[in-house]
Amino acid sequence: MLEWLKQPWPWYVAGPLIGLTVPALLILGNKSFGISSSLRHICAACIPAKIPFFQYNWKKEAWNMFFVLGIFLGGVIATLILSNPAPIAVHPNLATELAGYGITDYTGLVPGDVFSWPALLTARGFIMMVVGGFLVGFGTRYAGGCTSGHAIMGISNLQLPSVIATCCFMAGGFIMANLILPFILSL
């Protein structure tokens, strides 16, 4: 059983399980799926300042904080118990292209050549981790939610803003992956 859990799950199992969270949350209490709002709930619970943005009944959304805690604990369990010790399988064409940028370490979930403490001190690592993290946070706030909230919950509820946001997320991802990322990796 444990060996079966350690293998990647096919899309036709993982996809429907993710998709079923939408009706489950709606049936269990008319809740919305999304992760980005959790930071606001945590700040509202922990920061006693009278900042208007954090002045709301965060206790009504406490379930969301437990949901995020479950995601975190699931990641910890997956890393400590269910992780596969073999290096990540990378297609040979991609490995050749990445080697041209000096990326050859596939021993972790992300390339250690780009995402590590020593890499953070390089221009490439700083842009990827710090600037990229800021842009993801800014984009999430600007779009009024994250990709999971808009693409999974919003589109399922036929919300036009979520369709527009998801199309923009996809367009931004294509532009980043094909135009901007090669430039950053060459630094």
**Whether residue 85 has pLDDT greater than 80:** no
Query: Is 90 a domain residue?
Result: no
Domains in the chain, number:
2
Q: Encode pLDDT of 121-141 as tens digits.
A: 999 999 999 999 999 989 888
Query: Is 13 a domain residue?
Result: yes
pTM recorded for the entire structure: 0.77
Looking up tokens 């300042």 gives 49
Q: Which amino acid is at 16?
A: P
Of the three residues 83, 105, 126, the one that is the final residue of a domain is: 83
Structure tokens at 56: 């709301």
Query: Is 106 a domain residue?
Result: no
Examine the domain organization and report whether 61 and 129 are in the same domain.
Answer: no
Examine the domain organization and report whether 26 and 73 are in the same domain.
Answer: yes
**Is residue 31 within 8 Å of residue 63, measured between CB atoms?**
yes
The whole-number average pLDDT for the span 40-47 is: 86
Domain that holds residue 57: 1-83
Of the three residues 40, 68, 83, the one that is the final residue of a domain is: 83
CA nearest neighbour of 39 among 131, 122, 140 = 140
**Whether residue 158 has pLDDT greater than 80:** yes
Examine the domain organization and report whether 77 and 122 are in the same domain.
Answer: no
- pLDDT of the residue at 84: 76
Examine the domain organization and report whether 14 and 78 are in the same domain.
Answer: yes
Query: Is 74 a domain residue?
Result: yes
**Is residue 184 within 8 Å of residue 128, measured between CB atoms?**
yes
Of the three residues 33, 64, 83, the one that is the final residue of a domain is: 83
Query: Is 135 a domain residue?
Result: yes
Query: Is 8 a domain residue?
Result: yes
